[in-house]
Amino acid sequence: MKGKIRIIQGDITKLQVDAIVNAANNSLLGGGGVDGAIHRAAGPELLNETRKIGGCPTGEARASKGYKLPARWVIHTVGPIWRGGGQDEERLLADCYRNSLTAAVERGAKTVAFPAISTGVYGFPLKRAAEIAMKETIGFLENEDSLNQVTFVCFGDEALRTYEEVFSGLISP
Ligand code: ADP
């Protein structure tokens, strides 16, 4: 199970995987951070499609094509804004991972890559976010055989260190 998980540092828009996940906002009309990078790399057709989708509630996920990206699909999910932890942020972040993986499987994806959802502008504490990302993904992989690989893409050294620490804690408790 855990052999299907990979942690790398890099730019998610460059990855040759079936589906990349976008940390979008409720409008799905693009934004800053990884969302802006994905829209720039995919080209304007992506915005045409996400405009038609018409938004996405926090914790849910919507699929679009990848257009000029190497990835065939983009799964847009909306992470929670961190407001101190008392507003259901942890459950909503877990929902993002589960619903994104479900949407990817529905499109026939075998390989999926995630950014660290909510840990940028939305302010979710990185270590807690990494724990939720990995626990939710491991739980999903235990019940779903069709995925071959899930990649966590870390943007910067700190994220990479944190993800690797959390992952080694999970494999050797
Ligand atoms: P959010 O609003 O969900 O917090 P952000 O885009 O601000 O979304 O940040 C989410 C994470 O994506 C952050 O950890 C940020 O460093 C990372 N990130 C930004 N650009 C990229 C990229 N091109 N590839 C992968 N991760 C990225």
Judged against a pLDDT cut of 60, whether residue 120 lies above it is answered with: yes
Is the beta carbon of 79 within 6 A of some atom in ligand 1?
yes
Average pLDDT, rounded, for the chain: 97
Closest among 75, 145, 164 to 112, alpha carbons compared: 75
User: Which residue has its alpha carbon closest to ligand 1 atom 7?
Assistant: 120
**Cβ-based neighbours of 70, under 8 Å, separated by 6 or more:** 14, 15, 16, 17
Tokens of 76: 């847009």
Closest ligand 1 atom, CA of 122?
4
> Above pLDDT 70, what percent of the chain?
99
**Cβ-based neighbours of 101, under 8 Å, separated by 6 or more:** 112, 137, 140, 144, 147, 150
pLDDT of amino acid 170: 85
User: Which residue has its alpha carbon closest to ligand 1 atom 15?
Assistant: 120
Is the beta carbon of 131 within 6 A of some atom in ligand 1?
no
Supply the range of the domain harboring residue 58: 5-171
SS3 (DSSP) at 106: helix
The pTM is what?
Answer: 0.98
Residues labelled as active-site residues: 35
CATH number, domain with residue 60: 3.40.220.10
Tokens of 47: 């915005």
For residue 173, what pLDDT band results from cuts at 50, 70 and 90? low
Q: How many domains does the chain have?
A: 1
Q: For the chain, how big is the Rg over CA atoms in Å?
A: 15
**How confident is the model over 13-21, as a mean pLDDT?**
98
Torsion 137-77-158-120 (CA) sign: negative
pLDDT of amino acid 172: 61
Angle formed by the axes of helices 126-143 and 157-171, nearest 10°: 50
What is the spatial distance between Cα 137 and Cα 149, in angstroms, rounded to a whole number? Answer: 11
Judged against a pLDDT cut of 90, whether residue 1 lies above it is answered with: no
pLDDT of amino acid 77: 99
Is the beta carbon of 31 within 6 A of some atom in ligand 1?
no
Judged against a pLDDT cut of 60, whether residue 165 lies above it is answered with: yes
pLDDT of amino acid 15: 98
